[in-house]
Structure 1
Amino acid sequence: MFNVRNRLVQAEHVSSPKVHSEEAHVQVGRDAEKSFLSALEKRGVNKGDVFCGLRVPDEFQTRKHEIDLVVLTGNGIYVIEVKNWSGAIRVSNDGKSWIQHKNDKSSGHATIEYDLKHDNVLDKLKLRANLLRNHLIRKDVCLPSKVFHSYVVFMNDRVSLPDDIASLKEVILPERYNQFLESFQFTYLSTLRDAIIPGFVSGQLSYSTMECARTVLKSIGTWDVIQLNGGKQLVGDFKSGSQIAPNRRETEKLQFVHQRNTITATLWAILGYTPQVSVSMLQRGGTGWLWNASNGTINIPYNMSITFRMAGDEMDSQIPANDIDYIQISI
């Protein structure tokens, strides 16, 4: 009787998982990036030429630096940081930081004012663009520095920047946003021009150079992502365990399938079954019209924990399998 009672409690736990809501500012920032990506796609930029969250090694290959967005075009390689910041931005006295002045309303409708200190975003982005260039050179894709373009794109109309930042061509304010997007506009005339005029004359990257760069960019790793029930995402490194050890070159996603129906879960508990989670290992590049190709499926206990090192943490976290919707696996 005691075992039945335990299984009924487990069934309730499985069918009513904790809801992990994303923090508002994180969700807003993620939506801004999605909006920018969608705008690029509408202007004809090939999805295969857009790379998100690349982790580029430094010159000694001891540490990796993340780049929000890299866009490969005939005009060069664009290294882009998308910001949804609001409030007034100023540069610190030493020029090493950007200070963001925020005004937030508390639950009691009082206004809370505070400053957030960020690294100089543009300097940091240019450093990462140079690391990306050096990485390409190590892979025998040798490109001059002039084909790398760094831009910080501010998406929020409620941001205010001083003239010394706003006047920089690498800083895209909301009023210049559409004009910036138009520079990526695909036209058949430009395609015809690129096919006729040699790259050393037009300044465009050749098709062969772009293909070599594309191959290297595809091979650069990104973060792994865990999506929790409720939409919250954890970014970091998934540590393969004894029961779940996918081949990263072959598997791009671990899809977790749960028994969320209360009635069904209760019936299985009465019949003597303890809850399990079915994990499908979806094949890298195996997305189809109706289904995704799978490298296999395994069943794990619902109360098993997944080892995950979140970005910026020095210790591993244990994430309950019952809370996970999927894990996106990087190369």
Structure 2
Amino acid sequence: MWLAVLCGLVIYKLFKCFFYDDDTMDLEYSDTNALFSVADRLKKLYGGNVYVGLRIPDADTGSRQSIDIVLVTKGELVVVSVKNFSGLVSVSTGGNWVCESPGRHRAKHHPDPAVEARKQASVLESYLGQRGVALPEGYITCKVILPNPKLCMFSESSFPSEVITYEQWVQLKPASKSMLSSWMKSAFRAEKKEMQESVHQNLDFILSTAPIWDRLELKGNKYILGEFLEFKGKQEDVQALRNIRRSKVSRMAIQRTSMFGLAPSRLQVLFAERDYRSEGGSALEWKEVNVRSSTEVLFQPESSSKIRKIKLASIISLTLSA
């Protein structure tokens, strides 16, 4: 019996290697994973609430401004841009950042992240004002965090003051939770002003209901931000999933059962319908459907023009923006 099981495992692994086609194999997860890693550490260091992958409407351009992270505490609101750059980085005469890496024939040029972060902070402050929250002067600030240990900065003094280098990032301690270190204080520029509790609650509610990128959580602690498009698969499976769309569902989760590492032929898909009657304080009520594990999600990452086809068997959860 055990010999048959082992032979089955070997056959399955070989089949998976040669015939299992999943576009997630060629995705670059490092940038998005760095984003969520920074968000988790900010939450541990400073408490408060952390919002990831916001898409804030910009009234001036009629488009949406992507914001990596917003940290909200009783003392400040910080717009955080995460740049997972590697190699040697310098600032050109025009202010752009130039990244050079071994083995790369051509250097990559990036717009000044600090300028971008300031623009994001301005758009966010305007959006909050439109929704009824006027922040005290200096309360909202911005930072650019460089979390990649493989980054080397040439002429570090030429970089904007908003930049947190990798060395500074790893030196932050949980003990600084209630008081930012001196270099962070000067960078944040925020005077210690206590907001009224009602205003602070409104701020958190607005950010928790603001537009975001759709979010896929995959096996192996991998994330993708972008836009969910539709399901692909057998007609009966797609029909069973028809209610999972952003106007009705906020979150989808996958449950699987398997023996000895074998992939199940069917999966349990749980989804939580939106409750427009409350402000999100009530517990989610989950509904369930069963579909084939070969059913796919069509998803377009935010930084790519290519539409990805990702099997449900690779997915842990899907969060949809309203």
TM-score, normalised to structure 1, is 0.69
> In structure 2, how many angstroms separate the alpha carbons of the residues matched to 1:123 and 1:263?
49
Shift of 1:84: 3.5
The 8 Å contact of residues 53 and 225 in structure 2, kept in 1 or not, is answered as no
- Matching residue's letter, 1:173: T
Query: Does residue 253 of the first structure (1) align with residue 251 of the second (2)?
Result: yes
Shift of 1:175: 3.9
Listed as ranges, the matches of 1:112-151 within 5 Å are 112=104, 114-144=106-136, 146-151=138-143
The 8 Å contact of residues 103 and 114 in structure 1, kept in 2 or not, is answered as no
The 8 Å contact of residues 12 and 262 in structure 2, kept in 1 or not, is answered as no
Deviates more, 1:228-237 or 1:125-134: 228-237
Unaligned runs of at least 5 residues, structure 2: 1-7, 180-190, 232-238, 276-282
Listed as ranges, the matches of 1:279-318 within 5 Å are 279-282=269-272, 294-313=285-304, 316-318=307-309
Q: Secondary structure at the residue paired with 1:146?
A: coil
Q: Secondary structure at the residue paired with 2:114?
A: helix
- Matching residue's letter, 2:244: P
Q: Residue 36 and residue 237 in structure 1: after superposition, are their counterparts in 2 closer, same or farther (change >3 A)?
A: closer
> In structure 2, how many angstroms separate the alpha carbons of the residues matched to 1:303 and 1:323?
10
Shift of 1:154: 2.1
Listed as ranges, the matches of 1:1-331 within 5 Å are 16=16, 20-21=24-25, 26-27=29-30, 29-30=31-32, 32-46=34-48, 49-60=49-60, 62-95=62-95, 97-104=96-103, 112=104, 114-144=106-136, 146-157=138-149, 158-166=151-159, 168-177=160-169, 185-186=177-178, 203-229=193-219, 232-239=222-229, 242-244=239-241, 245-246=243-244, 248=246, 251-258=249-256, 260-261=258-259, 275-282=265-272, 294-313=285-304, 316-331=307-322
> In structure 1, how many angstroms separate the alpha carbons of the residues matched to 2:215 and 2:74?
31
> Aligned Cα RMSD in Å?
3.8
Between structure 1 and structure 2, the one with the greater Rg is 1
* Count of matched residue pairs: 281
> In structure 1, how many angstroms separate the alpha carbons of the residues matched to 2:253 and 2:195?
39
- Matching residue's letter, 1:102: S
Shift of 1:315: 6.7
- Matching residue's letter, 2:29: V
Q: Secondary structure at the residue paired with 2:178?
A: coil
1:111-146 C-alpha deviation (Å, 9 max, x unpaired): x55411212111111111111011101101122552
- Matching residue's letter, 1:40: L
> In structure 1, how many angstroms separate the alpha carbons of the residues matched to 2:148 and 2:222?
22
TM-score, normalised to structure 2, is 0.70
The 8 Å contact of residues 22 and 231 in structure 1, kept in 2 or not, is answered as no
Counterpart of 1:270?
A: none
Unaligned runs of at least 5 residues, structure 1: 1-7, 105-111, 188-200, 267-274, 286-291
The 8 Å contact of residues 75 and 192 in structure 2, kept in 1 or not, is answered as no
Q: Residue 156 and residue 165 in structure 1: after superposition, are their counterparts in 2 closer, same or farther (change >3 A)?
A: farther
> In structure 2, how many angstroms separate the alpha carbons of the residues matched to 1:262 and 1:282?
30
Shift of 1:79: 0.6
Q: Secondary structure at the residue paired with 1:56?
A: strand
The 8 Å contact of residues 45 and 184 in structure 1, kept in 2 or not, is answered as no
Q: Residue 186 and residue 284 in structure 1: after superposition, are their counterparts in 2 closer, same or farther (change >3 A)?
A: farther
Q: Residue 175 and residue 233 in structure 1: after superposition, are their counterparts in 2 closer, same or farther (change >3 A)?
A: closer
1:163-183 C-alpha deviation (Å, 9 max, x unpaired): 4533x3211223433676679
> In structure 1, how many angstroms separate the alpha carbons of the residues matched to 2:110 and 2:259?
46
Identity of aligned residues (%): 20
1:76-98 C-alpha deviation (Å, 9 max, x unpaired): 21111123323222223332x21
Q: Residue 164 and residue 63 in structure 1: after superposition, are their counterparts in 2 closer, same or farther (change >3 A)?
A: same
Q: Residue 303 and residue 179 in structure 1: after superposition, are their counterparts in 2 closer, same or farther (change >3 A)?
A: closer
